[in-house]
Amino acid sequence: MVPHLITALTGPINELEQRVLESMPAIERWFRLEWMEHTPPFYSSVDLRNAGFKLAPVDTNLFPTGFNNLTQDMLPLSVQAAMASIEKICPEAKNLLLIPESNIGNSFYLSNVATLKRIFTQAGLNVRLGSLDPSITEPTSLNLADGNTLVLEPLVRNRGRLGLKDFDPCTVLLNNDLSAGVPRVLEHLHEQYLLPPLHAGWTMRRKSQHFKAYEEVAKKFSKLLGMDHWLINPLTVAVSGHDLSAGAGLEALQTQVDSVLSKTRRKYKEYGIQEKPFVVIKPDAGTHGAGLIMVRDAKELTGRMSGTQDAEALTRLIVQEGVVTHERVNDAVAEPVVYMMDRYVVGGFYRVHADRGVDENLNAPGASYVPLAFSQASQLPRLGEKPGSSGPNRFYMYGVIARLGSVAASYELEVTDPEAEVYA
Amino acid sequence: MVPHLITALTGPINELEQRVLESMPAIERWFRLEWMEHTPPFYSSVDLRNAGFKLAPVDTNLFPTGFNNLTQDMLPLSVQAAMASIEKICPEAKNLLLIPESNIGNSFYLSNVATLKRIFTQAGLNVRLGSLDPSITEPTSLNLADGNTLVLEPLVRNRGRLGLKDFDPCTVLLNNDLSAGVPRVLEHLHEQYLLPPLHAGWTMRRKSQHFKAYEEVAKKFSKLLGMDHWLINPLTVAVSGHDLSAGAGLEALQTQVDSVLSKTRRKYKEYGIQEKPFVVIKPDAGTHGAGLIMVRDAKELTGRMSGTQDAEALTRLIVQEGVVTHERVNDAVAEPVVYMMDRYVVGGFYRVHADRGVDENLNAPGASYVPLAFSQASQLPRLGEKPGSSGPNRFYMYGVIARLGSVAASYELEVTDPEAEVYA
């Protein structure tokens, strides 16, 4: 299915699309050179916002779920990317231990785990599932909607190695973002590959660090294309303090909100954009769009912060330029999500939410998923198509911007790597 | 489209399919280990014959044409494989010089070249076409059926480097099998990557060498799966002499034909196969199924060899066990052809010929092409499907056997590498 692209007709995004398409060989070479210097995240998904005048990543997930929402047609790309990745990491690998979220009951999430298992099995690994849930004390079967079954097994820690009963993996793959903290069973696994590394989990990860790295990447990339990096970069500042919901903390937060709003206003004026700027306030750590607040004026914050966040979150926030989404699928507001494995774009979909506005977070109950244009017959980009008229061309551009998010995550993980400090 | 698999219901091929599927992780690991030791051909295509009781490669093409016959849906796999390949060979590459066959007028072949150009452009290279045809003395436009245009340019040799006017490539990609000999302009290009290497061309390549390597690979692989390698290996012997069309030469040839026929007969008896064995006599060098002779009795050869081959070909032949094809698409005899780029299967199709028999060469005028089962919605193999009933499972098996052909080509090119001898 080709989603209806309402941004098809006007706006600077078409210039960006055209420039991206014309620069395809240079862009791909740029990525090759980046990946010579930096290790790609094992897998990732990037939420994008296409405002028509601006296209920017707003969330880079290093423990992507939702592989079940990709089209079946695209799964061979994931398999091939997984093969390339395994070949580099551990070519003699036989066994892969996949650790899903502990709260695995959700049937959509189960289907994601089944898809990951299928991808890595076909890539040439024996895949078994280990659970961080202490209540799993023996192999436990879980039924999938399609009639198949997944077996969740208790983890067995044996000195330096993690495995299952009679299963010693070379690689441990986390599909669990460690929001609940790093379990001791995952610490000090120096004999095995633990992917992604522990510091990619939300216990240690900070959005401010990611967007700082993304700004650096966006500037480099924009220089290559000779364009303003604001067109692909959401202004982002970090705010920290004892308590950002009141007093001096709240004032500091309001000052940053004002600052981002006025910078955005100047940019809107420069590009003749007739919209009212807004900002999104997000916890510096944490995922799934939890605790997001949208404001168009710093004054709106008074009295609104308390109760919306836990005390920990109220000490570290980011203030980010809001990017509306002007994409729609069947009249519902939509935002593209792009999936990557190693350096490769392996799929994507539109996250669609009928009950949300263009400036709201769509990652919320009630969202549905429509596979991206990549699923149509002729899915390679084509030069010469009218900008905005071609699903594959639009998707190619999404894949490029999403990969910038992935490069940024790579920079971020280098900076935050606790092992790296040892040698610094 | 899912071709109708008439081999679906019976025969040992289903056991093979089941064993291949069940052993998927072990098989993929086996390939990973092979590719750690051996360099995959840059690209290749393998013609397979599925007799129902036996599945074997009968031709491994190292300068594959026909990329235009792959489905559009699968092209992203080629792009991704090309990216992985470029990353390894020359990550800083900007320019790729593609040298097509000199006889480029055929519109199908032109479409193949356009597809290759598109794949490598999207993989991140500036692609231009250089011609070995001396009549091309200035940039020449060729019109494609879809309205697009390809420009063929004269080659410019500049000391150690080959290029075009204002175009200095890091890599030169041959889509020309050098049947007409190695042009001097391609010799001694030590500063650039020339892919595939010159000794992969038919000036130097010998089928006997390939099938010798294939036998070695088939034996190793069959040991892994605990099966008789004959099920995937066509018996092949080389015959050489002053003139194999008459006298002592013909007698030597007949002796080998008898020998292959009687070995095949014994195997048929062992497996209870009620067919009459035949052999295919092929020139030891050369492509496109030219000069093939099929016989069921050595006596048939008397008087039949002269005139069918050129004198050169009559000094070196191979005698190969004939493998019938029991696949049909819409009642026409069909054989699968699998395409690979680097180590990855990137597509395939059925070569279909309505006017040919099950024991005949289908690579002949009048053949048509039907994209392989891989193009259907759910194209990853699935364990648990009834053997023979699933297009993707069947195609996975084809991909495995075709990759054995590709491993064999890698062995073959190592043995025949003239550069390697220098250091031996």
Q: How far is CA B55 from each of CA B326, B328, B347, B370, rounded to the nearest angstrom?
A: 10, 15, 18, 19
The token pair that represents B344 in the structure block: 């990855």
Ordered DSSP codes for B139-196: -EEEE-TTS-EEEEEE-EEETTEEEBTTB--SEEEEE---TT---GGGTT-TTSEEES
User: Do B302 and B161 share a domain, yes or no?
Assistant: no
Q: Which residue numbers in chain B have pLDDT < 50? A: 1-10, 373-379, 423-424
Angle between helices B107-122 and B75-89 (to 10 degrees): 60
The distance in angstroms from the start CA to the end CA of chain A is 50
Domain boundary among B173, B200, B227: B200
Find the chain A residues whose C-beta atoms sit closer than 8 A to any C-beta of B. Answer: 24-25, 27-29, 31-33, 35-36, 72-77, 79-81, 83-84, 86-87, 91-94, 118, 121-126, 343-344, 374, 377-381
DSSP A103: -
What residues of chain B have any CB closer than 8 angstroms to a CB in chain A?
24-25, 27-29, 31-33, 35-36, 72-77, 79-81, 83-84, 86-87, 91-94, 118, 121-126, 343-344, 374, 377-381
The residue among B87, B146, B390 with the most chain A CBs within 10 A of its CB, best to mutate, is B87
Buried b (16+ CB within 10 A) or exposed e, B111-146: bbbbbbbbbbbbbbbbbbbbbbbeebeeebebeeee
Q: Which of B245, B250, B214 is closest to B229 using CA atoms? A: B214
Is the domain of A174 the same as that of A54? no
- Is 70 exceeded by the pLDDT of residue A58? yes
Residues ≥6 apart with Cβ < 8 Å to B232: B16, B54, B55, B56, B218, B221, B222, B401, B404
3-state secondary structure at position A106: coil
Nearest to B153 by CA among B173, B172, B167: B167
A423 falls within a domain: no
Residue A125 has pLDDT above 50, yes or no: yes
A421 in any annotated domain: no
Shared-domain flag, residues A295 and A220: yes
- Residues of B within 8 A of A80 (CB-CB) are 77, 80-81, 344
Q: What is the 3-state secondary structure (H, E, C) of B290-348?
A: CCCEEECCHHHHCCCCCCCCCCCHHHEEEEEECCCCCEEECCEEEEEEEEEECCEEEEE
* A424 lies in some domain: no
Identify whether residues A401 and A336 lie together within a single domain.
Answer: yes
> Looking at the structure, do residues A314 and A211 belong to the same domain, yes or no?
yes
Whether residue B152 sits in one domain with residue B185: yes
What pLDDT is attached to residue A378?
41
B398 three-class SS: helix
pLDDT value at A9 more than 90: no
**Boundary of a domain, candidates A200, A228, A244:** A200
Residue A210 tokens, joined: 């990611």
Compute chain B's Rg from CA coordinates. 21
Q: A350 or B391, which is more confident?
A: A350
Q: Are strands A156-158 and A193-195 parallel, antiparallel or unpaired?
A: unpaired
E strand or H helix that includes residue A209: helix A207-225
The set of long-range contacts for B299-307, using a CB threshold of 8 Å and a minimum separation of 24, is B299/B254, B301/B250, B301/B253, B301/B254, B301/B257, B302/B250, B305/B244, B305/B245, B305/B246, B305/B250, B305/B253, B306/B245, B306/B246
Of residues A148, A198, A214, A140, the one with CA closest to residue A401: A214
* pLDDT number for residue A164: 97
Hey, of A2, A31, A86, A87, which one would you mutate to test binding to chain B, going by the most B CBs within 10 A of its CB?
Answer: A87
Taking the C-alpha atoms of residue B188 and residue B46, their distance in angstroms, rounded to an integer, is 29
b (16+ CB within 10 A) / e for B218-232: beebbeebebebbbb
A359 and A289 in one domain?
yes
Give the model's pLDDT for residue A18: 86
Query: What gap in Å lies between CA B324 and CA A259, rounded to an integer?
Result: 76
Neighbours of A171 (CB within 10 A): 21
Distance CA B23, CA B250 (A): 45
C-alpha span between B171 and B139 (Å, rounded): 20
Q: Is residue B394 in a domain?
A: yes
| Residue B124 bridge partners (DSSP) | none
Same domain, B251 and B159: no
State chain A's maximal CA–CA distance in angstroms: 64
Within 13 Å of residue B158, how many CA atoms lie on the same side as its CB? 13
Q: How many CB pairs under 8 A join A and B?
A: 115
Q: Kindly determine whether residue A28 and residue B83, on different chains, have CB atoms separated by under 8 Å.
A: yes
Q: In this structure, is residue A324 part of a structural domain?
A: yes
Radius of gyration of chain A (CA): 21
Chain B contact probe: residue of A73, A379, A397 with most B CBs at under 10 A? A73
Least confident segment among A10-19, A350-359, B5-14, B309-318 = B5-14
- Contacts of residue B225, defined as CB under 8 A and 6 or more positions apart, other chains included, come to B19, B20, B23, B27
Q: Indicate whether A131 and A11 sit together in one domain.
A: no
CB B60 within 8 A of CB B409: yes
Following CA atoms B409, B414, B416, B421 in sequence, which dihedral angle do they give, to the nearest 10 degrees? 180
| CATH number of the domain enclosing A180 | 3.40.50.11280
Which residues, 6+ apart, have CB-to-CB distance to A260 below 8 Å? A235, A236, A237, A279, A319, A320, A321
For A141-170, the pLDDT digits (tens) are 999 888 889 999 999 998 889 999 999 999
The full length of chain A comes to 424
CB-nearest to A121 from B25, B31, B77 is: B25
Instruction: With CA atoms as reference, report the closest residue to A143 among A109, A174, A107, A175.
Output: A107
Instruction: Tell me, rounded to whole angstroms, the distance of Cα A84 from its chain centroid.
Output: 21
From A181, A200, A219, give the residue that closes a domain.
A200
* Distance from the first to the final alpha carbon of chain B: 50
- Looking at chain B, which residue has its C-alpha nearest residue A89? B32
**Please, what is the Cα angle at B267 between B263 and B270, to 5 degrees?**
140
- The burial of B160, by beta-carbon neighbours within 10 Å (0-12 exposed, 13-18 middle, 19 or more buried), is given as exposed
Find the closest chain A residue to B89 by CA distance: A32
Q: Is residue A225 part of a domain?
A: yes
> How many Å apart are CA A412 and CA A399, to the nearest integer?
20
Domain residues for B92?
Answer: 71-200
Average confidence (pLDDT) over A126-133: 96
**How many structural domains comprise chain A?**
2
Q: pLDDT digit string (tens) for A62-95?
A: 999 999 988 777 788 999 999 999 988 888 899 9
Q: How far apart are CA A61 and CA A388, in angstroms?
A: 27
Task: Tell me which residue has tokens 């400090």.
Answer: A421
Q: Does residue A144 contact residue A106 with C-beta atoms inside 8 Å? A: no
Q: What are phi and psi of B400, to 5 degrees?
A: -65, -50
Residue A422 inside a domain? The answer is: no
pLDDT confidence band for A265 (50 / 70 / 90)? very high
Q: A335 has which bridge partners?
A: A351
Q: What is the pLDDT of residue B308?
A: 58
Closest residue to A80, CB basis, from B32, B122, B344: B344
Cα B154 to Cα B152: distance, rounded to the nearest angstrom: 7
Top pLDDT among B388 and A228 is at A228
pLDDT band at A376 (very low <50, low <70, confident <90, very high): very low
Give CA–CA dist A113/A175, Å, rounded. 8
Helix (H) or strand (E) holding A99: strand A95-100
ipTM rounded to 2 decimals: 0.85
List of chain A residues whose C-beta atoms are within 8 Å of the C-beta of residue B84: 84
Asked whether residue A381 is domain-assigned, the answer is yes
Put residue B291 in one of left, alpha, beta given phi > 0 → left and psi -120 to 50 → alpha: left
Spatial neighbors of B25 by CB under 8 A, at least 6 apart, are: A94, A121, A124, A125, A126
Spatial distance between the Cα atoms of A202 and A182, rounded to a whole number of angstroms: 9
Within 8 A by CB and 6+ apart from A226, the residues are none
- Predicted local confidence at residue A375, as pLDDT: 39
- Give the residue with greater pLDDT, A107 vs A371: A107
Query: Cβ(B52)–Cβ(B326) under 8 Å?
Result: yes
User: Are B335 and B377 members of one domain?
Assistant: yes
Q: Mind giving me the DSSP string for B56-80? A: EEEEEESS---GGGS-GGGHHHHHH
* Together in a domain, A134 and A224: no
* Cα–Cα distance, A175 to A172 (Å, whole number): 10
Q: In this structure, how many other beta carbons lie within 10 angstroms of the beta carbon of residue B72?
A: 15
What is the structure's pLDDT at B376?
Answer: 42
- As to burial, measured by CB atoms within 10 angstroms (0-12 exposed, 13-18 middle, 19+ buried), residue B42 is buried
SS3 B82: helix
Q: CA A354, CA B111: separation in Å to the nearest integer?
A: 44
Identify whether residues A232 and A327 lie together within a single domain: yes
Query: What's the pLDDT at B70?
Result: 87
